[in-house]
Amino acid sequence: MTILQRSKIVVIGAGNVGEAIGYTLMLRRQASEIVLVDLNEDRAMGSALDIAHGTAFFRQAKIRKGGYDECADAEIIIITAGIARKPGQTRLDLAKTNVSIIKSITKNIMEYAENPMIIVVSNPVDIMTYVVQKESGLPSERVIGTGTALDTARFRYFISDKCNVDVCDVNAFILGEHGDSQVAIWSRATIGGNSVESFMAESGQKLDMEEIFERARDSGAEVISLKGATFYGIAMTVSRIVEAITDDENAVLPVAHVLGEDFEDWSDVAISMPCVLNREGIAKTIRIPMSIREQEAMDASTKKLKDFLREVLEQ
């Protein structure tokens, strides 16, 4: 598909993350038109201009600031808006504040858009994905949270680094909450069809699974401590999700959406599972086989999210 055949993507929130997403979408030629929407119109205008000035070196793509009315004909709407956690602020207080913001954004989107495809990036992303889906009334397969997609990318990166193989040849997932209770599915992690553990044993090396998982889980906080924010990794993550949708790929990615009743104890909460993504959104959720320990960890992660969600929504 050429860029001329691609349509409009709206990014709501023109902060570091929204700007990096807009820039990545432009570089990868994933839309013919990218619109940045932000309460701070000067920031949106400045970000759009900064990116637009470089389009002379690429095929032409329009990037500009706009309003919520741009959602009416957008192929995909990406929500990045929200406030960052302040010193002394609890995770619960932050979530409650961002829920209020996300509800307002969702209402504004639905005023103009009919059955849109929404990608949620704002944190805590599992909670915000749930709120957007319930507030919009959209089918859950059309409200997609980035969830553990970036955690999984980090996980695969650290495995590839330790095993000295191309990261593209590592197949492994982190599922559940995008947070401390996330679960590494080691029992299904492979390199070239062989388990990661067996691959390392054959080369005479020992794999410290816990160390790799902790590095993947904590690396976002590490980046924040070093440079103050993370935005390139999540921008590339969003770009990959967009690609799977716009190119109708049926690609399998670990993203979050509100699970249905067939998931029993995991239902009515947004958690990350391997999902088949295409132009309709989430076409299928894969029930990946897990060890007993992994299953128990997923149960605990889901319960933690449900309990936190109840606290957040108590206003």
pLDDT in tens, 67-91: 999 999 999 999 999 887 666 666 7
- Identify which of 65, 63, 80 has the alpha carbon closest to the alpha carbon of residue 26: 63
- Distance from C-alpha of 226 to C-alpha of 216, rounded to nearest angstrom: 16
The domain 149-313 is placed in CATH, from the list 3.90.110.10, 3.40.640.10, 3.20.20.70, 1.10.287.3510, at 3.90.110.10
Q: Confirm whether residue 156 is marked as ligand binding.
A: no
Position 80 scores a pLDDT of 96
Segment 27-39 shows an average pLDDT of 94
Position 179 scores a pLDDT of 87
Tell the CATH topology of 3-145.
Rossmann fold (3.40.50)
Domain 3-145 shares a fold with domain 149-313: no
pLDDT digits (tens, 9 = 90+) for 94-134: 888 899 999 999 999 999 999 999 999 998 999 999 999 99
The residue ranges of every structural domain in the chain are 3-145, 149-313
178 catalytically annotated:
yes
- Residue 6: pLDDT band (50, 70, 90) is low
Cα–chain center distance at 91: 19
Q: Confirm whether residue 18 is marked as ligand binding.
A: yes
Position 234 scores a pLDDT of 96
Q: Confirm whether residue 121 is marked as ligand binding.
A: yes
**Catalytic residue among 156, 178, 217, 257, which?**
178
